[in-house]
């Protein structure tokens, strides 16, 4: 299975990939990132991910070291240089860590790509002026396909005690302690995901996903102002929903709205469209994946080939 690491254009095996302890990405979480995946070995919707990376970098005033086309070239080079995985079982475990416990699914040939830009090496001080050059890191690991049962049965989700809010909510920075704590809470309750709320108790995102409800045939999802990250998958799914004639409402919703939902699902790059069966143990609608969710799941899968033609 494929694994490869690229640090500032130098491709190495995982055990040889090293960054400085003075990198501000490590010291302060001062970095931005994207998670991409491949279909048929090709990075999916790269330009959309790069545009979001630019947005994130702009949000923390970080200069990206590579242009869009350099970044694409480096990702391609890294994908091409993948090697055997028996050397990097710890990386493999990391890739699978957000999946629920159970027998490992069969390996897939597809890859998960983490593209990370850090502020680079500086002093042990939050002063970014001490940093010279940003560092670019690409981590390619096998994409562990989610177990088929999450799509057939739906997943359990809880509501996190951790809030998403503030001016950095819509950008993807390496300061991810909120997600880490929410993940720990979800694990402790045996849940697949956790819904996070805004400071005003409105529904926001999952830990690394966007959240949707279906009510009376309408598709409801937290608006951009609800401290969400605008998911690349979200944009595709909302476009597909509108093409199908569904009413899409991007708005501000309360926890109480969950009890009124007929269906719920979540989306992310690596998991696509995942039905939510229960929230905090209470069934959503029938407690089974609903017809609108399944329709969007199918539409998303069918759109992949067309979208894979995009740069
Ligand atoms: N919301 C948050 C907070 C995320 O971190 C992510 C992805 O990591 C998403 C939503 C889903 O985004 P995408 O569909 O681009 O994977």
State pLDDT tens for residues 188-217: 999 999 999 999 999 999 999 999 999 999
**From the alpha carbon of 233, which atom of ligand 1 is closest?**
14
pLDDT tops 70 at residue 99: no
Pocket test for ligand 1, best of 46, 162, 268, 274 (most atoms within 8 A of CB): 268
Q: SS3 for 78-92, per residue?
A: HHHCCCCCCCCHHHH
Q: pTM surpassing 0.75?
A: yes
Q: State pLDDT tens for residues 249-297.
A: 999 999 999 999 999 999 999 999 999 999 999 999 999 999 999 999 9
**From the alpha carbon of 267, which atom of ligand 1 is closest?**
14
Query: For ligand 1, atom 7, which residue shows the shortest CA distance?
Result: 208
pLDDT at 1: 53
C-alpha of residue 201 to centroid of ligand 1, in Å: 20
Looking at residues 17-27, what average pLDDT do you find? 97
Q: What is the mean pLDDT of the chain?
A: 92
pLDDT tops 80 at residue 97: no
Looking at residues 166-184, what average pLDDT do you find? 95
Identify the band that residue 311 occupies on the pLDDT scale cut at 50, 70 and 90: confident
**214: nearest Cα among 164, 154, 302:** 154
List the single range of 97-101, 154-158, 167-171, 306-310 with lowest mean pLDDT: 97-101
Two structure tokens written together for 83: 């090697």
pLDDT at 83: 54
- Which bin fits 50, alpha (ψ -120 to 50), beta or left (φ > 0)? alpha
pLDDT at 181: 98
User: Which residues are registered as beta bridge partners of 194?
Assistant: 158
In short, whether 267's Cβ falls inside 6 Å of ligand 1 is yes
In short, whether 269's Cβ falls inside 6 Å of ligand 1 is yes
% pLDDT > 90, the chain: 88
């Amino acid at each position: 299975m494929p694994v490869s690491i690229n640090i500032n254009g130098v491709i190495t095996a995982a055990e040889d990939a090293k960054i400085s302890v003075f990198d501000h990405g490590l010291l302060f979480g001062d970095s931005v990132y994207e998670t991409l995946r491949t279909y048929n070995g090709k990075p999916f919707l790269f330009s959309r991910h790069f545009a979001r990376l630019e947005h994130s970098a702009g949000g923390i005033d970080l200069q990206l070291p590579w242009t869009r086309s350099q970044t694409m070239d480096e990702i391609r080079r890294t994908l091409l240089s993948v090697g055997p995985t028996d050397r990097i079982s710890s990386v493999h475990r990391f890739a699978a860590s957000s999946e629920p416990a159970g027998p490992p699914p069969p390996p897939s040939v597809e890859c998960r790509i983490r593209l990370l830009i850090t502020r680079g090496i500086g002093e042990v001080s939050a002063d970014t002026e001490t940093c010279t050059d940003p560092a670019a890191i690409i981590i390619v690991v096998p994409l562990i396909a989610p177990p088929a049962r999450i799509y057939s049965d739906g997943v359990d989700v809880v509501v996190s005690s951790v809030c998403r809010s503030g001016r950095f909510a819509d950008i993807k920075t390496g300061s991810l302690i909120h997600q880490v704590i929410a993940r720990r809470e979800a694990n402790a309750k045996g849940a697949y995901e956790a819904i996070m709320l805004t400071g005003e108790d409105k529904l926001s995102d999952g830990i690394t996903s966007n959240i949707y409800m279906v009510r009376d045939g309408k598709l409801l999802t937290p608006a951009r102002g609800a401290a969400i990250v605008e998911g690349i998958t979200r944009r595709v799914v909302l476009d597909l929903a509108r093409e199908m004639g569904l009413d899409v409402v991007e708005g501000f919703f309360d926890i109480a709205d969950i009890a009124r939902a007929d269906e719920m699902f979540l989306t992310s790059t690596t998991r696509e469209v995942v039905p939510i069966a229960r929230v905090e143990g209470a069934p959503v609608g029938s407690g089974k994946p609903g017809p609108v969710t399944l329709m969007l799941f199918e539409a998303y899968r069918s759109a992949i080939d067309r979208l894979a033609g995009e740069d």
